[in-house]
Structure 1
């Protein structure tokens, strides 16, 4: 029997075991450190990790607080105890059947919109390129209004049979397909979609679809108009478990795509020309990321309506807090969750009852949009 193999650590950091040598090197990198464990390497940015950790803690606290705000008030500690299986029968009914679906929808929708906004901003290289501005949420609104207000008509009955969530998702996907076809560069497909062309077409489709939505509302019954208006503003009230599962699917799928394409996303942030020089298939990667953003944003809108400005605010807040060159998708998603959960808490505790969360995000997002426009104009004039 051979004696056990010993492990020797050389002063240079080389470990030998069974004849296999593994080198570990830590070297400075812009904004952090590069850790190389052959044959793999990764970049660790302490500031971004700190922002992600703090944002996650705040989001968890907001989530537990949101679950506890009901006719049967509970503290975050009580909510955590109940979620871990230590609740009474009454507490379980209040949390799992009433409060938890609303909090989960707010958490997931915020994450999905924040992540989708970061991807579209990355593809277009423009902080204003979000699902709100590119027509995706406007297309979902047209289909949802049709399903709500014209489900009894011959031409709108099939959307009514699908239900509002499915109709909204279908409208968002069809709008994104039309936008992508119009922005496709034709024979120059290998160069990817032109960001400026994509934004122009998206803004034009947004205004066109918003006008169509207003026309549909003007022709609908007044009782259906009220329901449609609440959905258009964006609200996480009156949701159930049936609204949770589609968003869970979209968010999980988008997280997997972002993790798998993390390296390509990092290179794509350097610009399409440099990314192609580094071997990235920019056309295929941009298409995959855009489809991912469309899927997760459409599913998010189908559950809670087009909650305004979350897809714009979350990536830009994440960018400024983490100090990165472009918004980080996963951190943007966590910031988006905190925005929607916090806005919903304000609507339920401070503001008059019944207000949808979209009013809070729009009140914050409007001034922030003006700030972004001023910053962009100053950069362009330098």
Structure 2
């Protein structure tokens, strides 16, 4: 049986890996099911939720679903997708599973911008709003990280190893700055910022949905437009260059998109830990591709965050942020990846 799936419309045609297409379809189904379950928790059944969403609900049902449950589930879906996709993009261009927005300082920079907006009403960023402030923080951190890891004479302009090491150091520095801001803030503002820093969708409203939606749209559009270049970059810089890929432009553009997507996702629900690390690696193992596939990583991220939110409202103590659940899973997985990378380096 052919491993490629061909779709033709007129003179245009697209070729897909059959396993990848089937895995993405299964992940999409899992996202829809988890989304309906998330909306229904503590209220009704997933089937009734589908009926209400299709316009068959009563006035009370519509108020509960559309004003309370739906924004929370939608933000969990979109933020998980954005963080997973951003992690997939950074892992592709660096060819390193540890190169994620969490460990490169991107989400930490976005957090500084958002916390500064929440806790310091008189700051210059306060007038921009959390999404814009988080975007500014993420872009600033990424620019600093790139400048410090710059390597003269390199076509891609950076050393991957230096990028990761500097990113980790930058992350700790920015987290220290966030801690300082919290220590100087008013009690109410500090409590609000602390809930946000852990990563939570509990207080999600329709106001944060546009930022998360923009992140997903941007990430998906770029991934589709640059699909060939991204697949080729996964084979190595030299191979990509020999196949006609403009390596420097492709890597720079992908990095900018990853920063924007991660920053906007963080702005909507906080820096939910390890989604950018877990989702691409799990998706890669499901699809059996040599490098992460951004859209599959995004779908896996959506499933992870939705399931984590469902767990916090059912089996786990009430009020627990989703970031605690993802960190509990992601921590051991990070140790596994580090051990695996060390073994590969010694063979």
Give the TM-score, by structure 1 length.
0.86
In the alignment, what sits opposite 2:4? 33
Distance 1:123 1:310, change over 3 A: same
Does the 8 A contact of 1:124 with 1:199 survive in 2? no
2:105 aligned with 1:135: yes
Tell me the residue number matched to 1:172: 138
Q: Report what 2:128 is aligned to.
A: 162
Instruction: Please point out which of 87, 96, 107 is paired with 1:126.
Output: 96
1:67-107 CA-to-partner distances (Å, cap 9, x unmatched) read 1124xx12111111111111111111111111111111000
Match of 2:118 in 1: 148
User: Counterparts of 1:274 and 1:113 in 2: how far apart (Å)?
Assistant: 28
1:40 deviation in Å?
A: 6.6
Find the aligned partners of 1:304 and 1:266 in 2 and give their Cα distance. 30
Q: CA RMSD in A?
A: 1.9
Could you say which residue in structure 1 is the equivalent of 2:148?
182
| Structure 1 consecutive aligned stretches of length 4 or more whose deviation exceeds 6 Å | 36-41
Aligned to 2:44: 74
Which secondary structure state, in structure 1, belongs to the residue aligned with residue 125 of structure 2?
helix
Distance 2:112 2:157 in 1: 29
Q: Which residue of 1 aligns with 2:28?
A: 56
- Highest RCO, 1 vs 2 (Cα 8 Å, sep ≥ 6): 2
Aligned to 2:296: 331
Instruction: State the SS of the aligned residue for 2:141.
Output: helix
Matching of residues 299-318 of structure 1 within 5 Å: 299-318=264-283
1:336 positional shift = 0.1
Q: Residues of 1 paired with 2:109 and 2:70: CA distance?
A: 29
Measure, in 2, the Cα distance between the counterparts of 1:78 and 1:171.
41
Q: TM-score, normalised by structure 2?
A: 0.94
Give me the whole-angstrom Cα distance separating, in 1, the residues matched to 2:64 and 2:301: 26
Given that residues 192 and 286 in structure 1 are in contact (C-alpha distance below 8 angstroms), is that contact kept between their aligned partners in structure 2?
no
Q: Which residue of 2 aligns with 1:45?
A: 17
- The aligned residue for residue 85 of structure 1 is 55
Contact 1:109 1:300 (C-alpha < 8 Å) held by counterparts: yes
Conserved? CA contact 1:51–1:322, under 8 Å: yes
Deviation at 1:219, TM superposition (A): 2.6
Contact 2:81 2:301 in 1 (8 A): yes
Query: How many residue pairs align between the two structures?
Result: 346
- Would the aligned equivalents of 2:106 and 2:263 in 1 still touch at CA under 8 Å? yes
Name the CA distance, whole Å, in 1 between partners of 2:176 and 2:319: 27
Match of 1:264 among 229, 240, 246: 229
Unaligned runs of 5+ in 2: none
Distance 1:270 1:282 in 2: 12
CA distance in 2, matches of 1:41, 1:239: 41
Which entry has the higher C-alpha Rg, 1 or 2? 1
Which residue of structure 2 aligns with residue 371 of structure 1? 336
How many Å apart are 1:213 and its aligned residue? 1.4
Structure 1: distance between partners of 2:316 and 2:7: 51
Q: Distance in 2 between matches of 1:323 and 1:43?
A: 17
**Mapped contact 2:5–2:18 kept (Cα < 8 A):** no
